[in-house]
Structure 1
Amino acid sequence: MSGEVQIVIGPEPAAVVERAIGDLRSYLSRLFGADARVVATGDGDHPRLVVGTDQDAHVRRTCPALPSLSEQGHLLRRIDDRTLLAAGGSAPAAAWAVYELAERYGVRFLLHEDVLPPEPGPFHLPEIDQVFEPVQRIRSWRQFNDLVHGPVLWTLAQQQAFIAQVFKLKFNAVEVCLWPQHPMIDYEIDGTRRSTWTFLFNQQIVIDDDTIGREHLWPRTNRLTHPDFVGIETFDDALTAGRRLIGGILDAAIEKGMHTCVAVQPLEFPIEFRHCLQRPNDESFQLGDLTCAETADLNNPKHVRAVETRFQALIEQWGHADEIDIHLPEHPQADGGFARAWAALTEAHDLPPKYNADALVDVARSNLLVPGGAPRAERELKSAVGMLQFLHDFFAGNDLQAMMRDRGIMPTITLGGSAEPLFPFVHRVLPPGFGMRTSVDYTTSRAVRRLGLLEQVDTSAMRAALTVTLQDDNVGYLPQVATENMAVLLGAASRLGWDGFYTRYWAIGDLDPAVAWLARASWDARVTPHDAYVDHVRHVYGRDAVDTFCQALRMLEDATVILDLRLGPLFPVNDIMRQWLQRSAPVEADYCHVLAIYESVRGLLEQVRALGSGPPSKAPNLDYWLSHVKFSIHALHAFRLLQEAGADLASETESDRQRGMATAQRATDHARTALRTMADQMRDDSDRGALAAYNQFMLREVEQEIAAWRDRLADGKRVHDS
């Protein structure tokens, strides 16, 4: 077709609708050669696409008998032979109707790109009359955190491009998770102003000429940090850059009518504020030892003043967000005041006798599913009680909630998995107006094993949403596919009245199959992971690839469950690989199973490549998958060999130690191959961050340890000879 298609809009369409129409015009031109023109009223015999909200006059004229639509609801309706209506209950929903129409023409939205069908056929108006209402009311992506392979290193341009893509997939919210050490909030406590800042938990990751893949990394950078912060030293300069970055992320979402959330940890402070606390922690409790927390009674005046000052600064500086989420610390230190806090909560909220301290602690002590075991579960439960009691009294004693109400901010508290004994009555002890969020556990498969906890939360009495893990950071830069378990978890949450989900993820290069399901199932609970996989693979890799690629994804689900159990092995922090040369430990068989799965998956993906045929999107996407799987195979070989080497080096026998040195050297050979393979396929800033980091963790630090062992063995030989 090379004729005209008319797109009928109202006199002043919202910017988000205009952008969607611009995308649609591009799709129609590229697919059908159509000249899509925007007009106020359609005329002649040209096909008409009528776009707008259900309140727009031109939409009402086109279809007087519109069904009732929620703010997120939208519809596609073929009116007659030449007219199709794409309407929504709001401007963002009208834009989603446009992108839904694009999908009907065969367009698929990936996290990095749009994929258009190579043979779309002739232009037509789809025969459709369908209303779309969300199953998951909140569908959020977390856009900022603090590990090397996540979005913390993304430039603003990549953030904006990503938000544009997830909006096309009908996700409706973004979250930025600001750690205490991030330079985005300025405040002064008792005469001390903020002065320290860092990213990546202050890990000093070197980038030099020996870094494999250096040419793919950021220029003029000799130490890994966010590219917008290269060369910045002072807190004031970092604050300016930080506000520009986070403000740009939130603005990109706000422009599309998306919900925005700023997540903070107000009970932890940068280390310059240690003297502002009554009894700050003595021992490090978080990576990098960059923060401090109160270990005395949380209600002491110094702590109350510090938290109030910081929280007020948060509202004043980021109060244009729709939601503030208070994250309770991952490694809390507030268990000492449990008895007093529980007595105060019980009295203030008239909790029934069946909820008693001994019963709560017994539940925690018997919880063997928590990483770290029962001692951690007990400490975290007691700390959660102390922190909830503190926060209830804290917000009752100031006007911060009034400040949030005046700005239309929704307050939320995220509880850790060990707070599960509190779930049946948590709605009674949260500060008034607060919602709750939880991940239940670190990973989705772990959360599914505790699925019954979702039933214990009274969603009729408060807002409740899930944090859903697509990838866990402890596993590191290995392929993770958790779609089947996500389907179980979100299906149960939806039936029980939970509002929706906030994603937890890191690198995005291999998330497209899972996201294809997540996007569709958020609107249609009948869509299975396999349904979504088949559609995704057919459009991206070709019809012939469907069965084989789906088998690979199924096997990766198995590998992910094994990795979830171990919560390892490539957590992207210093010493994660070198440590195996410093101790004797048996080779961990679970990772050998994962390695075998990856080998099988590589074979399946090679079969897909051998098919030859497929759409233009097949080759680059398949190359990325193969690169990621091959990296993982060599990384796990390196991991296994380092464990073998560590056992030999711990021996008293000279021959064992020499064998250990040779084995360690073989491990570095695999590490180099893994890094070269990764460097061949750099999709985004997450890949670049991972490449720089694993150069240090898998190679540079291991080579340093091998050199140290070589010196120790040489010294021992000299002593023996003498």
Structure 2
Amino acid sequence: MSCGHRLRDATWVLGDPDEAVLRWTRKQVQSWVPRLSGAPARLVDRLEDGLSIVVGSRLSNQLICKAADQGLIDLTTLGEDGFILKQTVLDGATVLLIAGCSPRGAAYGVCELFERLGCTFVISGDHLPPCDPEMPLPSLDVAKRTACSWRGIFFGGYCFTTNSMMSLPDYETMFDQMVKLRMNRIVFYHFENEPFIDYSFMGERKLVGDISHPDSGYLSYGRHFTGSFRVEDLPVGREQFDREKIAPLEFQAVGSSDDALDTARNFMRKIIALAKARGIGVWTTVLPQFIPPNLSKYSRPMPSLHKHWSAHLSCTDPVAGPLNRARIQGILDAYPDLEGIFLGIPEGFFDDPYPETRVLIEREWDDYAESLDLQRKYWGRFWPGDKQQKAHLRADIAFTEIVKTTIAEAKGMRPDLKLGICTVCKAYLLTHLHDILPLDMPFIDIESRALWTLDGAPLHLFQRMKGRECVIIPRAVDDGSLLGLQFPLWQYSKDGFVSSAKENGTNGLMIQTTHIRGNEHSIKYLADGMWEGPAAPGEFYRHYAERVFGATAVPQVMEAFTKLEQNDEFLGGRGQHNMPWNMVPDQIWIMHTFKEFDQPFHRAPFSQDFVDRCEERAIKFRQAIGSLSLALDRFGEAYQLTTRSGQQELAYIINRTHGYRAHLQALVQFAELYHHYYEMFALLPQDLEGFKQSLDRLLTESHRLEGVTRESATYFASCVEHTTDLALLWMVSHRMVLGSHCLCEFLENIRAFYSGGEYWKPVDWDKLFGRCVFPPHGTGRVGEGENTSETEPG
């Protein structure tokens, strides 16, 4: 119902101009009012005739303080970030009070007003209604509060070449949208091979570049398997890039380890400042169980190779405490405005073979009995077998010991330092850590039925952790399927992420995402749910579709969204690893063996088991391709019915989905090709002519396959609307197009061998997989154990 006043006529009294969040709010009002009403925002410092919109908190706006003192509004029940929108009379003037206990809460209230005027805020930008000079202001008496004190974004490591490409303007825009979505924190998960955590030990500075690739700005891992990070080496889509390297703009000229560490420190300081100016707190995560390879000479040798993240520390190594003290001190020196530091428990499981460690584990073992039982009960379907489960727990005990040592070192340096614990699918362990760690340390944990608890996320375990802040990390993007648009709302609803605050006493959601564009629906569903409570996915989709695409397009969009939800569920929530965490699908990864294979002219460089695995996934992909085609049909119909802005949004969705469908088609063709490839050699030596004919057909298949990968890359090149979209284009162009081209080159050499031609023409393996200046190196094989996985358990 209208209050009888127009937006264009209202005056705005925004309070303290020196308060950072209110400065941000002022800027938004000055942008939104003219775009919605056609008239500039009227900013004043006192009440005037007509309607005055008064914004702020007790401390930032005297008029809000006066209204509260007169009993016109009650701020005492709102919590830290709650807000009130109330039309009333103050000092004889008609006012709309937008008040919070903090300036951040007041800013959220302003965003609430504009949403009620028809704006839709998503993580990538704003959807605004058409300009209307007569736009009325509603009559309001609204109070909103949330039980979720943690609401924000979780950036899970720069190892993913997605958000690792974002520059400072990208962060600034994202932080703007986070405020509009009423988010208050961002958590970074920094692996040790990244340059953001800088310190020295024994007089020697940490080095990066031995695991992180120099051409990625020393950010992304994969020195031993990733290949080129240079745009000039991309076969498709180079024209879309505004940079020479697959790295942030600020890291393009980084040329050494020292340069990378210095650049990263300045970069992160500016990110923290941008966040702080918007009322967003920043936490970082450190893994105290890892050590840079160059500093590992000061520690006990451990069994694993230095391949992906870094070397490992033994929990009984005397240097573990001093080294982590240096690491924490480095963080505090570099980032004094950090809100806190999470200490991570690695998601993998690594063997610590030293006798002292075995004694420690035996001493602690009985205290972890319940954790072992919980792991068996809820994680047992994914990690079957007593031997594996016990090995996992032994590793967790060792990891926990390093965390305890690090806490003691950090608190000894600064007793008021905010510390927390970060885990990946280890709620079974947190039940014990709750009993032994200080209650002022928040826990933050990824859980999902799509990962390792196949019967559902066991969020009820957090009911056991009363008196502690516990935060869940849902995934907007699962790192098994980095290319396709993901539709996980059904999964969120089944796992109970939004309802967990009420049911389990958890304190909010930090939403993991790798790219910004294409995840608007997932992030908004979770962000809104932390304030409004859980919504049925269908109900949310209908409202979202109406706001973004218009009422006439809703039936078609809803049908497409439903089909895509079904498809994500059918593929297990992880896309059958069609573009996994290391950004190299198995169908490309297998070519590592081609490079060094010594019998390429006599047999296939892979096994029948590999062929069977590819075909098992291809069966799923064929059905998924059909589902994507049906969704594309509905989106095409919706395109004819939607608004102009809706057409822009649908064009992006359609092209991304076309690119994803072509990508799955390529993986199906890879499976068929590998099947024919393996069978072909059965013709030798009896039927040489039949073999050569099969080889010719295989070459035809391989060139057709390369064409499909190029089609996929071309679609992804057509929908670059955010910096993280460039990362998707890089994945398809570098991995899939270049990979299929290398396969063609390899097969051409085999044909040359059987045709009397030169069969040693070079294949672009180095461009695809890279050539490091040194081989993967370890610190010696010390008691090689059975539990030395370098990757996630899945």
Tell me the TM-score normalized by structure 1: 0.90
> Is the counterpart of residue 388 in structure 1 residue 400 in structure 2?
yes
SS in 2 for 1:260: strand
Q: 2:138 maps to which residue?
A: 126
Q: For 1:522, which of 523, 530, 536 is the aligned residue? A: 530
Q: 1:597 maps to which residue?
A: 627
Q: 2:48 maps to which residue?
A: 43
Q: 1:266 maps to which residue?
A: 288
> Is the counterpart of residue 111 in structure 1 residue 123 in structure 2?
yes
| Structure 1 contact 365–374 (Cα < 8 Å) conserved | no
| Structure 1 contact 638–671 (Cα < 8 Å) conserved | yes
CA shift for structure 1 position 665: 1.8
CA shift for structure 1 position 361: 7.0
Q: For 1:189, which of 201, 204, 208 is the aligned residue? A: 201
Q: 1:509 maps to which residue?
A: 517
> Is the counterpart of residue 626 in structure 1 residue 654 in structure 2?
yes
> Is the counterpart of residue 659 in structure 1 residue 697 in structure 2?
yes
Q: 2:746 maps to which residue?
A: 708
Q: For 1:668, which of 706, 716, 734 is the aligned residue? A: 706
User: Mapping of 1:502-581 within 5 angstroms?
Assistant: 502-561=510-569, 562-564=571-573, 567-571=576-580, 572-574=582-584, 576-579=586-589
Q: CA separation in 2, counterparts of 1:161 and 1:280?
A: 43
Q: For 1:302, which of 319, 327, 333 is the aligned residue? A: 319
Q: CA separation in 2, counterparts of 1:507 and 1:62?
A: 43
Q: 2:83 maps to which residue?
A: 74
SS in 2 for 1:681: coil
Q: CA separation in 1, counterparts of 2:406 and 2:13?
A: 54
Q: CA separation in 1, counterparts of 2:738 and 2:654?
A: 25
| Root-mean-square deviation over aligned CA pairs | 2.8
Kindly tell me: are residues 527 and 457 of structure 1, through their superposed partners in 2, closer, same or farther at Cα, counting changes over 3 Å? closer
Q: CA separation in 2, counterparts of 1:659 and 1:340?
A: 61
Letter in 1 for 2:249: P
> Is the counterpart of residue 640 in structure 1 residue 676 in structure 2?
no
Q: CA separation in 2, counterparts of 1:143 and 1:646?
A: 36
Q: 2:268 maps to which residue?
A: 246
Letter in 2 for 1:606: G
SS in 2 for 1:278: coil
Kindly tell me: are residues 385 and 500 of structure 1, through their superposed partners in 2, closer, same or farther at Cα, counting changes over 3 Å? same
> Is the counterpart of residue 681 in structure 1 residue 686 in structure 2?
no
CA shift for structure 1 position 456: 5.2
CA shift for structure 1 position 29: 1.8
Question: Mean Cα displacement is larger for which, 259-268 or 142-151?
Answer: 142-151
Letter in 2 for 1:100: E
CA shift for structure 1 position 305: 2.7
Q: 1:401 maps to which residue?
A: 411
CA shift for structure 1 position 166: 1.3
Q: CA separation in 1, counterparts of 2:8 and 2:651?
A: 38
Letter in 1 for 2:266: R
Q: CA separation in 2, counterparts of 1:467 and 1:622?
A: 28
> Is the counterpart of residue 427 in structure 1 residue 434 in structure 2?
yes
Kindly tell me: are residues 14 and 300 of structure 1, through their superposed partners in 2, closer, same or farther at Cα, counting changes over 3 Å? same
Kindly tell me: are residues 690 and 120 of structure 1, through their superposed partners in 2, closer, same or farther at Cα, counting changes over 3 Å? same
Letter in 2 for 1:573: M
SS in 2 for 1:208: helix
Q: 2:238 maps to which residue?
A: 214
| Structure 1 contact 74–131 (Cα < 8 Å) conserved | yes
| Structure 2 contact 488–573 (Cα < 8 Å) conserved | no
SS in 2 for 1:434: coil
Q: 2:57 maps to which residue?
A: 53
Q: CA separation in 2, counterparts of 1:671 and 1:532?
A: 35
Letter in 1 for 2:458: G
SS in 2 for 1:76: strand
Q: CA separation in 1, counterparts of 2:546 and 2:133?
A: 16
Q: Deviations over 1:184-212 (max 9, x none)?
A: 23222223322323222133334227531
Q: CA separation in 2, counterparts of 1:526 and 1:79?
A: 31
Letter in 1 for 2:648: P
| Structure 1 contact 160–252 (Cα < 8 Å) conserved | yes
Q: CA separation in 2, counterparts of 1:35 and 1:225?
A: 39
Q: CA separation in 2, counterparts of 1:362 and 1:2?
A: 57
CA shift for structure 1 position 490: 1.5
Q: CA separation in 2, counterparts of 1:158 and 1:453?
A: 33
Q: 1:293 maps to which residue?
A: 312
Kindly tell me: are residues 376 and 608 of structure 1, through their superposed partners in 2, closer, same or farther at Cα, counting changes over 3 Å? farther
Q: For 2:99, which of 71, 74, 87 is the aligned residue? A: 87
| Structure 1 contact 276–306 (Cα < 8 Å) conserved | no
Q: CA separation in 1, counterparts of 2:385 and 2:742?
A: 34
Q: CA separation in 2, counterparts of 1:643 and 1:314?
A: 47
Kindly tell me: are residues 365 and 303 of structure 1, through their superposed partners in 2, closer, same or farther at Cα, counting changes over 3 Å? farther
User: Mapping of 1:110-189 within 5 angstroms?
Assistant: 110-118=122-130, 120=132, 122-143=134-155, 145-189=157-201
SS in 2 for 1:449: coil
Q: CA separation in 2, counterparts of 1:430 and 1:335?
A: 23
| Structure 1 contact 438–466 (Cα < 8 Å) conserved | yes
Q: Which has the higher contact order (CA 8 A, sep 6+)?
A: 2
CA shift for structure 1 position 527: 3.2
| Structure 1 contact 5–35 (Cα < 8 Å) conserved | no
Q: CA separation in 1, counterparts of 2:518 and 2:743?
A: 33
Q: CA separation in 2, counterparts of 1:373 and 1:513?
A: 39
Q: 2:252 maps to which residue?
A: 230
Q: For 1:466, which of 468, 472, 475 is the aligned residue? A: 472
SS in 1 for 2:107: helix
CA shift for structure 1 position 82: 4.1
Letter in 2 for 1:658: D
SS in 1 for 2:419: strand
Q: For 2:734, which of 687, 690, 696 is the aligned residue? A: 696
Letter in 2 for 1:356: A
Question: Mean Cα displacement is larger for which, 625-634 or 451-460?
Answer: 451-460
Q: Deviations over 1:548-589 (max 9, x none)?
A: 212222222222221425641112534644246753513221
% of aligned pairs identical? 17
SS in 1 for 2:148: coil
Q: CA separation in 2, counterparts of 1:385 and 1:457?
A: 23
Tell me the TM-score normalized by structure 2: 0.82
Q: 1:199 maps to which residue?
A: 219
Q: How many residues are treated as equivalent by the alignment?
A: 697
Question: Mean Cα displacement is larger for which, 421-430 or 372-381?
Answer: 372-381
Q: CA separation in 2, counterparts of 1:330 and 1:656?
A: 45
SS in 1 for 2:136: coil
SS in 2 for 1:301: coil
Q: For 2:489, which of 462, 483, 493 is the aligned residue? A: 483
Kindly tell me: are residues 460 and 448 of structure 1, through their superposed partners in 2, closer, same or farther at Cα, counting changes over 3 Å? farther
| Structure 2 contact 420–442 (Cα < 8 Å) conserved | yes
Q: CA separation in 2, counterparts of 1:545 and 1:247?
A: 44
- Where in structure 1 are there 5+ consecutive unaligned residues? none
CA shift for structure 1 position 510: 1.1
Q: CA separation in 2, counterparts of 1:486 and 1:121?
A: 40
Q: Deviations over 1:486-527 (max 9, x none)?
A: 234323421211111212111221111222222221101153
Kindly tell me: are residues 623 and 107 of structure 1, through their superposed partners in 2, closer, same or farther at Cα, counting changes over 3 Å? same
Q: CA separation in 1, counterparts of 2:185 and 2:751?
A: 57
Letter in 2 for 1:51: V
Q: CA separation in 2, counterparts of 1:373 and 1:480?
A: 32
| Structure 2 contact 462–505 (Cα < 8 Å) conserved | no
Kindly tell me: are residues 404 and 436 of structure 1, through their superposed partners in 2, closer, same or farther at Cα, counting changes over 3 Å? farther
Q: Deviations over 1:23-48 (max 9, x none)?
A: 2233222212344322222122x221
